[in-house]
Amino acid sequence: MNQLELKYGCNPNQKPARIFMEEGELPLKVLNGRPGYINFMDALNSWQLVKALKKATGLPAAASFKHVSPAGAALGLPLTDVERHIYFAPEGSLSPLACAYIRARGADRLCSFGDWAALSDVCDADTARFLSCEVSDGVIAPGYTDEALDILKAKRKGGYNVVEIDPNYVPAPVERRNIFGITFEQGYNALSIDESLLGNVVTANKDLPQQAKHDMLLALITLKYTQSNSVCYVKNGMTIGVGAGQQSRIHCTRLAGNKADIWWLRQHPKVLALQFVDGIRRPDRDNAIDLYISDEHEDVLADGVWQNIFREKPEVLTSEEKKEWVAHLSDVTVGSDAFFPFGDNVERAHRSGVRYIVQPGGSIRDDQVIATADKHGMVMAFTGIRLFHH
């Protein structure tokens, strides 16, 4: 099959719509559901991300995509007890692939609502069971076990989108797209991201442990498939804040840093102690936690509101408590798809526990940026490679 007709394009008025190959067969199969135009854009971008992560680290990888950018991406590392709690993970042993997706979705559960999931390895039953409990539009993977496929086919009254991709597919060396009836052409971005890009450490502190290298690779590969401008915060093999599509670099850094702070605040003892009423849905819990952490906590603690969410009225998480808790966030890595033009990006990153920075370098103010990193004892590597994605 070399083409697949779609219901419509980005919007219902954009018809006809299809995906097709000018030469050869499509490298994918729809095993269930009817994915749309945006679904396939998410699927193909997210698949490239997890495939590259697996190649770079040797670990299973997963991503949670929304509107052609990752809400989260992660490696298949074991979950801590706290992570199991805040990501609503099931009890018992879990496969590395399931851990990867649970962590990817847990990076930003609010933004992952209605996501497209991508898996680097054959989807197993553990991963499928977790997906079946979440609000998600679809999944792409190089294969599915029979049990996993049965679980996913039962999701959304049988309408859940399941796509299988040929893991050996290599795209053409030149890619084209049309904008306003005009054809653009460029070489496919086949840049391999690996540890060879991390050798140019420009700060006085050059101590770069293996975990930080993995986190740098995760940041870079995530940025390669995130709408630019983009900045990504990573800790222990998972993104904890992605800022995408901003016109200003500092706004990317602030947006992603604020998301990293929220991820960390979800682990505050007061948040972990929240007692929800029976039967509340996961999205409602996520929304309530987000409001409880935010400056708009009155919206969820007002009389007549909290009784529908919590078993008992929680104590307020004060601004002082939040500031103190965020101050304990540490050993975070931040990556940028283009150079940091000013030291203010480094200062903002420092507020969210950043110790390691990876960026292209090349600003006329590199000396200022390096000096700012040195002031905080950070380790910064220049890759010399820009990673814009549009």
Phi, psi (degrees; rounded to nearest 5) at 183:
-90, 130
Structure tokens at 179: 């904008």
- Among residues 32, 39, 45, 229, the one annotated as catalytic is 229
How many other C-beta atoms can be found within 10 angstroms of the C-beta atom of residue 200? 11
**How many angstroms separate the CA atoms of 258 and 175, rounded?**
35
Task: Give yes or no for a contact between 306 and 300, defined as CB atoms under 8 angstroms apart.
Answer: yes
The answer to whether 389 is a known catalytic residue is: no
Task: Give yes or no for a contact between 110 and 128, defined as CB atoms under 8 angstroms apart.
Answer: no
Going by the DSSP 8-state scheme, the letter that residue 80 receives in this structure is: P
**How many angstroms separate the CA atoms of 284 and 109, rounded?**
11
The answer to whether 67 is a known catalytic residue is: yes
**How many angstroms separate the CA atoms of 306 and 149, rounded?**
39
- Among residues 13, 157, 168, 390, the one annotated as catalytic is 390
Residues 6 or more apart whose Cβ sits within 8 Å of residue 185: 174, 175, 176
Report the SS3 class of residue 6. Answer: strand
Relative to beta strand 28-32, strand 69-75 is unpaired
- Among residues 51, 54, 66, 322, the one annotated as catalytic is 66
**How many angstroms separate the CA atoms of 354 and 334, rounded?**
7
243 sits in which H/E element: strand 238-244
Task: Give yes or no for a contact between 216 and 381, defined as CB atoms under 8 angstroms apart.
Answer: yes
Residues 6 or more apart whose Cβ sits within 8 Å of residue 321: 268, 270
Helices assigned H by DSSP within the chain: 37-57, 81-86, 96-106, 125-132, 146-153, 210-224, 249-265, 269-272, 282-293, 298-301, 319-326, 344-351, 366-375
The answer to whether 390 is a known catalytic residue is: yes
Residues belonging to the active site: 66-67, 229, 390
